[in-house]
Amino acid sequence: EVRLVESGGGLVQPGGSQRLSCVGSGLTVSSNYMYWVRRAPGKGLEWVSLIYSDGKSYYADSVKGRFTISRDNSKNTLYLQMNSLRAEDTAVYYCTRTPYWGQGTLVTVSS
């Protein structure tokens, strides 16, 4: 059975940082690709970042320069380092590779 389990969310002040983790089981995080997708309150799904098996990474314009995607193959774990957080980054963040989704982790950016 494939499982993706995110963690690391919480309350953070504007301008602060947070690192999200996504541990995979039954699936190799470093193969193919992995996405971070978020859903902000009252809004739809939005892709945030993508990493391919060769390490190439991509970012939505809304987070470019502030977020960094990475992975630790030995831990089968995907990460999202989020810096300079803004109120509009408040969302539930999911890691996903079709057709699998994690349960999500909530990031709230507020003072």
Residue numbers at the binding site for another protein (CB under 8 A): 35, 37, 39, 44-47, 50, 58, 92, 94, 96, 98-104
Nearest residue (CB) to another protein, 46 versus 81: 46
Nearest residue (CB) to another protein, 1 versus 111: 1
Residue tagged 């630790």 (tokens): 72
Q: How far is CA 30 from CA 50, 69, 107, 111, in A?
A: 12, 12, 24, 36
Q: Cβ of residue 88: shortest distance to another protein, in angstroms?
A: 17
Nearest residue (CB) to another protein, 58 versus 70: 58
Q: How far is CA 88 from CA 12, 61, 85, in A?
A: 12, 13, 8
Q: Cβ of residue 18: shortest distance to another protein, in angstroms?
A: 19
Nearest residue (CB) to another protein, 10 versus 16: 10
Q: Cβ of residue 87: shortest distance to another protein, in angstroms?
A: 22
Q: Cβ of residue 15: shortest distance to another protein, in angstroms?
A: 28
Name the phi and psi angles at 74, rounded to 5: -65, -25
- Alpha-carbon distance of 41 to 48, in angstroms, equals 15
